[in-house]
Amino acid sequence: MNLVTIEHIVAVAGGIVVAVVAFYALYKDWKTPGVENNVFRLMLLLLGVGAVIALLAGLGILGNFPAKAA
Amino acid sequence: MVEKNAPAVRLGRGFWIVTAVLAILAIASIVFWYVAPIYRWMHLPVAIATAKQVDQLSRFMLATGSALYIFVVGYIVYFAIAFRVRKSDPPDAIGIQIHDNHKLEFWWTVIPAAFVVLLSVLSIKIWYEITLAPSNGLVVEAIGHKWYYTFRYPQVNGEITNAMHLPIGVPVTLNLTSADVIHSFWVPAMRLKNDMVPGLVTQIHFTPTRIGTYQIICTQFCGIDHSLMHQQRFVIDSQANYQKWYHAWQVKNAKVSNALPSTSGASVNLAAGDVAAGKALFAQKCTACHAMAPFTTVKYGPGLLDVLHDPTHPNLVNGQPANPADAAAILEKGYTGTMGSMPNAVTNGLSSQDIANLVAYLNSMK
Amino acid sequence: MAVASITQGGHDSHGEIDQLYIETRELRLQGFLLFLVSDCVLFSSFIFAYLYLRNSGQGWPPAGINRLDVAFAAVNSVVLFGSGATMHYALENWKHGNFMKFAWMLIFTIVLGVGFLCGQGYEYTNLIFHDHVSWWGSGIFGASFFTLTGMHGFHVFVGVCYLTVLLLQSAGGVYTKDKYFGLTAGTLYWHFVDVIWVVLFSIFYLL
Amino acid sequence: MAIAAAPHGGGIADHIHPEPQSFVRRYVFSIDHKIIGIQYIITGFVFFVLAGLLAETIRIQLMHANGGFVSPQTYNEVYSIHGSTMVWLVVIPLLTGGFGNLVFPLQIGARDVAFPWLNMLSYWIFPIAGLMLFSSFLMGAPTAGWTEYPPISLEGQAGTSMWAAAIFLVGVSSTLTGINFVVTIMKMRAPGMTFTRMPLFCWGQFATAPLLMIATTALAAALAALFMERQFGVPFFDPTKGGSPVLWQHMFWFYSHPAVYIMILPAFGIVSEVLPTFSRKPIFGYKLIAFSSMAIALAGFMVWAHHMFTSGLAPYLQLPFMVITFVIAVPTGIKIFSWTATLWGGKIHYTTAMLFAMGFLVLFTLGGITGIFLAAIPFDLHLHGTYFVVAHFHYVLVGGSLMGIFSGMYYWFPKMSGRLLSEKLGKWHFWLFFIGFNGTFLPMHWLGLEGMPRWVSTYDPQFQFWNQFASISSFVMTAGILLFFANILYSIRFGKVAGANPWGARTLEWQIPSPPHYYNFKHIPTVYGLPYDFSQPLPYRGLEDELNDTPPPVAAGAH
């Protein structure tokens, strides 16, 4: 188990946790009134999306480029 | 917001008279722009086909623009006079209290909008013809330098450095680029320009339609001598003359390119200098920037009387001692530095013999 | 110690909220949001510059430069995104009067933020000393990568300092259960920094 | 959306700070928007004098085809700093920081802007940045014009980096001002002052402030990149290192096209106040004028590449930029027609402010029309980079913005100082300026059509006649401006005392003493309608005590 594998596992696990937390917070916060809460909702949404992106990157679905020929 | 108590709006007789006068003036201005040979006054011939269409678009815009302008300014002046406050008015007199008129506002939104559509259509049409002009003929490269253009032709080694020649009636694709900073390639007679961007090749296409010699002008700031970057010419020849020029240049270029490696002042045979020829050349080429007067008489550069014999200035601008050989080197290579800049022999159009003549002339003055 | 005084700070705060505070808070909130908008434009301009240069026909990554290490950056991103989530819960806890939890969440956030900065420092070190990529010497790649991520890293650094100040302030009783605009602003700023990273991570590592 | 005054009071509107007593806190590091506005105006006019000297240097140089007054190097420095100063240190600060600060909080019935300390900060950045800009002369000023296109600006003298830093700072100041103004207008209007009752000057500022806030930040990015590239060799624009010179043009014009609306929309606002006041008539088509300002501001973000038709842009990208630029002509036309219609049926008083507003109409319309010409790509491919362009933008910036500034000065000077500017000197100023201006810039249209390029220190002899004509006319224009400064210096001591409302104007700032008290209003008034209806009584309540000696109430919420 080398370092890269650990990195992948951490990214996937962390991505899942953060995405779940962000979307759950978004769900809980869905109806809070106030200008700043509109912004928070947008930010939480993007945060969740970001976590999913990191998760996919950890799974090798995104950003998996073939090694460039020298 | 028209309220119930809004005053009735009646345009008086004066308004309609003024409108009629303005309409006549506007029509007169439209007729003027369509009759007036504006670019002939300005010595700008039409060298390519699309230039004529650009002129037509300019005419259309000048005509409609000035008609509009006449109406706006005419009404402003008329209202300014007709509705000025008079001595007989009480001090608290107020104007007619109208807030708006939806019909009027509707029309002065819709009519300009329609005009915008018309203008877009016309411009796009002409833009298409400029951009998509035939490009299946001659391909020439023009390269911007500080502060001159060079031109490259197919199947010829080397670069043309004085004038650019093109045959009439043959579609031309001009590839533009730059060797140092952004320049621009503008031929007013073509009503066309494009920037020469370093690291980028841009293309323009056109077909010359009129024999003549035209100016090429740089319109992007490109350094200290940007102002002088309009000396080169754009020559449209008959096909026969073009072929003659092309072959002559090909032959000459072959010779020159063999003799060219010596780029130092040593190649100039200073002994062969002719003072009289140098004097004539100085008047023609140098007096734009230098006076034949003492050093302190500055035009761009210093006065050149006793440049080679001035005890207070024993060195030339580049720090070399003031002797004929070093003066020749400056003439040949040009100078750019803290004191300003001088174009090189290529830009100035000087041959080795010319340089020898000039140095002889300068050496004779003291 | 700090936590204890935060817990006390919340007690005597009820009923103090007045018209002046409501109005001032509204002004500050809007001003702060507009500041974030203009900051966003600053990032957008550089992102535009990066995408423009990238697509100027030289191929990407440019010759002689390797792809960035996606796996490590993904871990680092997760760290930063995680700090966004903890920051959200920090504010939530403050709103509900759980000042202890608030303090812990804020401390988590700061630690994760510092962690992200360390990760970025590690990545920079690798790039500079191992791959010999530099800010000025590696063409448009070095220029756009180090400028954008450096600017973001600077924002994170400022954010960490800001959050630390907020922690000390709340420990010192500056905020009450009803008057806590500074915390709202800090949360907004931290979320903003996170969300910018979502974009930067995607365009630099995954595109 | 405005914060209604709370029934029990205690909000910002009832919160009167004590007036600071020390000279420094009162006049130097003041947080009072009126003082800050006056500071902006004074500083702006100081830079205006400097930029004017540079402009005269340009005109003297161009008296002769061979130039010779200054060296080409100096000439290039002179026009670069002239352009940069006029745009960033004169027109933008005067119109937004100056008149904006001075007037619009009064017009919306606020006690100050939303963030007075921020306001002070943005003012103090501005003169520092101005000094930095002029100090670039000491180390070799930039030479590539106010646009500073790379790569020429990359190899420019050391002062080019100083230029970038200075403009960056002005940008920071503008951004802060923009944020401040947006929040103030959104949140601090007096009760009853709905958006559709707001004076048009406020609408002008409201359309401008977001541009200041958003576009200027984009410029900051471009300047930072230029600075980094010059100082640290970080390649963004240098084509030999893979950068792109065209990228700078995109980044620069993405700011600088909105910037031309930053420079004109507040002037539109000034004219929209002056015309109805001196015509004794409501502004014609209030809603359309307000709406068209917003439309122009919005569309201003979508047209930047029309400055780049010759820059090697992909052909298919050029068309939308041309068409959207044409579309901007429609709201602009609506404004011009509405102002013209405002004059109809009025009782026009020829004060100097009114003359300048009408001069604005005449000159700006011409500049607007040539702007449409230049938007047409075929025409632009011919005339881009020629004196036609120089003529065009001087007609909109001098004939438009600067005429608006002068109009505003004559109009609001009594509110600043309590005294009127001399009308007699003012009329001389107007006519000398108007005639001199046209003599200077009208010939540049045909110089451009004939083929005279921009940025030249020498030119072909056939252009000499009209250049000399322009130079001599520019002296007339300068004489007018000198009279203006003489007028200010004279009137501030000896001018006629104005009283609260010398013009019979109806917006809120004229209902309080000149100059206003530190706290602006003793009681925040309530607004019942548009200010422009001359046949109706004033639509305000709560102003009864403004002009008598009643002391202001002690603040309910003051701690």
Q: Is residue A69 part of a domain?
A: no
Cα of C174 to nearest chain D Cα, Å = 17
- Predicted local confidence at residue D555, as pLDDT: 52
Q: Count of domains in chain A? A: 1
State the pLDDT confidence band at B289, using cuts at 50, 70 and 90: low
SS3 call for B112? helix
- Asked if the model's pLDDT at residue B340 lies above 60, the reply is no
Residues in chain C, overall count: 207
Residue from the list D151, D239, D333 with its beta carbon closest to the beta carbon of B112: D333
Output the average pLDDT for chain B.
82
Instruction: Give the list of residues 6+ apart from residue C182 with CB closer than 8 angstroms, or none.
Output: C166, C169, C174, C175
Q: Which residues of D touch B89 (CB under 8 A)?
A: 347
Residue matched to tokens 């802060």:
D176
- Predicted local confidence at residue D61, as pLDDT: 94
- Predicted local confidence at residue C5, as pLDDT: 43
- Asked if the model's pLDDT at residue B256 lies above 50, the reply is no
Instruction: Give CA separation, B45 vs B118, C65, D462, in Å.
Output: 27, 53, 16
Copy the structure tokens of residue D178: 């923009």
User: What are the phi and psi torsion angles at D451 (to 5°)?
Assistant: 115, 30
Cα of C46 to nearest chain D Cα, Å = 6
Q: Which residues of C touch D236 (CB under 8 A)?
A: 49, 53, 140, 143-144
CA angle A55, A59, A62 (to 5 degrees): 80
Lowest model confidence (mean pLDDT) among B86-100, B301-315, D273-287: B301-315
- Predicted local confidence at residue D4, as pLDDT: 43
Cα of D220 to nearest chain C Cα, Å = 7
Which has more pLDDT, D506 or C13? D506
Rounded to whole angstroms, how far apart are CA atoms D416 and C187? 42
Tell me if B184 and D310 make a contact (CB, 8 A cut-off). yes
- Predicted local confidence at residue D349, as pLDDT: 93
- Predicted local confidence at residue C10, as pLDDT: 40
- Predicted local confidence at residue B344, as pLDDT: 63
Cα of C154 to nearest chain D Cα, Å = 15
Q: Is residue A24 part of a domain?
A: yes
Evaluate whether B138-259 and B265-364 have a shared fold.
no
Rounded to whole angstroms, how far apart are CA atoms D427 and D433? 10
DSSP A41: H
Q: Which residues of C touch D3 (CB under 8 A)?
A: 23, 26
Copy the structure tokens of residue C52: 């423009």
CATH class of the structural domain C17-57+69-206: mainly alpha
Tell me if C71 and A40 make a contact (CB, 8 A cut-off). no
CATH number at residue D388: 1.20.210.10
Tell me if C81 and A17 make a contact (CB, 8 A cut-off). no
Give the nearest chain B residue to D383 (CA atoms).
Answer: B191
Q: What tens digit of pLDDT does each residue of B119-150 get? A: 999 999 999 999 888 888 888 889 899 889 98
Taking the domains of chain C in order of start, what are their residue ranges?
17-57+69-206
State which residues form the domain around A23. Answer: 3-59
Going B102 to B108 to B114 to B120, the CA torsion angle's sign is negative
- The torsion angle over the Cα atoms of residues D531, D534, D536 and D538, rounded to 10 degrees, is 40
Instruction: Give the list of residues 6+ apart from residue B91 with CB closer than 8 angstroms, or none.
Output: none
Cα of C37 to nearest chain D Cα, Å = 8
Tell me if A68 and C197 make a contact (CB, 8 A cut-off). no
Q: Which residues of C touch D244 (CB under 8 A)?
A: 52-53, 56
Give the nearest chain C residue to D209 (CA atoms).
Answer: C34
DSSP B178: E
Q: What tens digit of pLDDT does each residue of C142-167 get? A: 899 999 999 999 999 999 999 999 99
| Residue B340 at interface with chain D, using a CB cutoff of 8 Å | yes
- Predicted local confidence at residue B341, as pLDDT: 55
Looking at residue B149, its amino acid is: Y
Q: Which of D428, D427, D371 is nearest to D399 (CA)?
A: D371
Residue from the list A25, A40, A51 with its beta carbon closest to the beta carbon of C78: A51
| Residue C125 at interface with chain D, using a CB cutoff of 8 Å | no
Q: Which residues of D touch C136 (CB under 8 A)?
A: 232-235
Give the nearest chain C residue to D555 (CA atoms).
Answer: C20
Instruction: Give kind and range of the element (H or E) at residue B204.
Output: strand B202-206
Q: Which residues of A touch C197 (CB under 8 A)?
A: 50
Peptide bond into B147 cis (omega under 30): yes
SS3 call for A14? helix
Rounded to whole angstroms, how far apart are CA atoms D139 and B308? 33
Cα of A38 to nearest chain C Cα, Å = 11
Rounded to whole angstroms, how far apart are CA atoms D478 and D470? 12
Instruction: Give CA separation, D260 vs D125, D164, D303, D338, D401, in Å.
Output: 22, 19, 12, 21, 9
Residue from the list A8, A47, A54 with its beta carbon closest to the beta carbon of C195: A47
Residue from the list A8, A39, A68 with its beta carbon closest to the beta carbon of C188: A39
Give the nearest chain C residue to A63 (CA atoms).
Answer: C206
Give the nearest chain B residue to D535 (CA atoms).
Answer: B97
Choosing among D173, D217, D223, D246, which should be mutated to test the C contact, i.e. which has the most C CBs within 10 A? D217
- Asked if the model's pLDDT at residue C192 lies above 90, the reply is yes
- Predicted local confidence at residue B91, as pLDDT: 83
Give the nearest chain C residue to D248 (CA atoms).
Answer: C49
Give the nearest chain B residue to D308 (CA atoms).
Answer: B195
Window D:130-189, CB contacts with C under 8 Å: 175, 178-180, 182-183, 186-188
Instruction: Give CA separation, C3 vs C6, C85, C102, D159, in Å.
Output: 5, 21, 9, 53
Residue from the list D152, D347, D349 with its beta carbon closest to the beta carbon of B221: D152
Tell me if A25 and C85 make a contact (CB, 8 A cut-off). yes
- Predicted local confidence at residue A64, as pLDDT: 74
Residue from the list B72, B85, B130 with its beta carbon closest to the beta carbon of D349: B85
Q: Which of D301, D324, D160 is nearest to D231 (CA)?
A: D160
Tell me if C78 and A7 make a contact (CB, 8 A cut-off). no
- Predicted local confidence at residue C136, as pLDDT: 83
Q: Which of B106, B194, B110, B113 is nearest to B149 (CA)?
A: B194
Superfamily of B265-364 according to CATH: Cytochrome c-like domain (1.10.760.10)
Cα of C170 to nearest chain D Cα, Å = 23
- Asked if the model's pLDDT at residue C3 lies above 50, the reply is no
Q: How many CA atoms lie within 13 A of D330 on its CB side?
A: 23
Residue from the list A11, A22, A39 with its beta carbon closest to the beta carbon of C71: A11
Q: Is residue D116 part of a domain?
A: yes
Ranges of residues in chain A with a pLDDT under 70 are: 1, 66-70
pTM assigned to the model: 0.86
Choosing among D119, D184, D244, D524, which should be mutated to test the C contact, i.e. which has the most C CBs within 10 A? D244
Taking the domains of chain B in order of start, what are their residue ranges?
13-84+99-131, 138-259, 265-364
How does strand B233-237 pair with strand B164-167?
parallel
Residue from the list D118, D188, D234 with its beta carbon closest to the beta carbon of C136: D234
Q: Is residue D550 part of a domain?
A: no
CA angle A37, A41, A42 (to 5 degrees): 120
Question: Percent of chain C at pLDDT above 70?
Answer: 91
Tell me if D242 and C140 make a contact (CB, 8 A cut-off). yes
- Predicted local confidence at residue B261, as pLDDT: 35
Which has more pLDDT, B187 or B91? B187
- In this structure, which topology does domain B138-259 adopt according to CATH? Immunoglobulin-like (2.60.40)
Q: Which residues of D touch C58 (CB under 8 A)?
A: 242
- Predicted local confidence at residue B326, as pLDDT: 81
Cα of C66 to nearest chain D Cα, Å = 17
Rounded to whole angstroms, how far apart are CA atoms B148 and A63? 48
CA angle C53, C56, C59 (to 5 degrees): 95
Mean pLDDT of C193-197: 95
In chain B, DSSP finds a helix count (H) and a strand count (E) of 9, 11
Looking at residue C155, its amino acid is: H
Q: Is residue D19 part of a domain?
A: no
Tens-level pLDDT at each residue, chain D (559 residues): 344 444 445 677 777 777 888 888 888 999 999 999 999 999 999 999 999 999 999 999 999 998 889 999 999 999 999 999 999 999 999 999 999 999 999 999 999 999 999 999 999 999 999 999 999 999 989 999 999 999 899 988 889 999 999 999 999 999 999 999 999 999 999 999 999 999 999 999 999 999 999 999 999 999 999 999 999 989 899 888 888 899 999 999 999 999 999 999 999 999 999 999 999 999 999 999 999 999 999 999 999 999 999 988 888 888 999 999 999 999 999 999 999 999 998 999 999 999 999 999 999 999 999 999 999 999 999 999 999 999 999 999 999 999 999 999 999 999 999 999 999 999 999 999 999 999 999 999 999 998 899 999 999 999 999 999 999 999 999 999 999 999 999 999 999 999 899 999 999 999 999 899 888 888 889 999 888 888 888 999 888 888 888 877 765 444 4
Q: What tens digit of pLDDT does each residue of B13-72 get? A: 889 999 999 999 999 999 999 888 777 777 788 999 899 899 989 999 999 999 999 999
- Asked if the model's pLDDT at residue C13 lies above 60, the reply is no
| Residue D6 at interface with chain C, using a CB cutoff of 8 Å | yes
- Predicted local confidence at residue C4, as pLDDT: 42
Q: What tens digit of pLDDT does each residue of C54-98 get? A: 887 667 777 778 888 888 999 999 999 999 999 999 999 999 999
- Asked if the model's pLDDT at residue B255 lies above 70, the reply is no
- Predicted local confidence at residue B266, as pLDDT: 45
- Predicted local confidence at residue D361, as pLDDT: 95
Tell me if C45 and D175 make a contact (CB, 8 A cut-off). no
**Treating both helix axes as pointing N-terminal to C-terminal, what angle do C70-95 and A35-59 enclose, rounded to 10 degrees?**
150
| Residue D418 at interface with chain C, using a CB cutoff of 8 Å | no
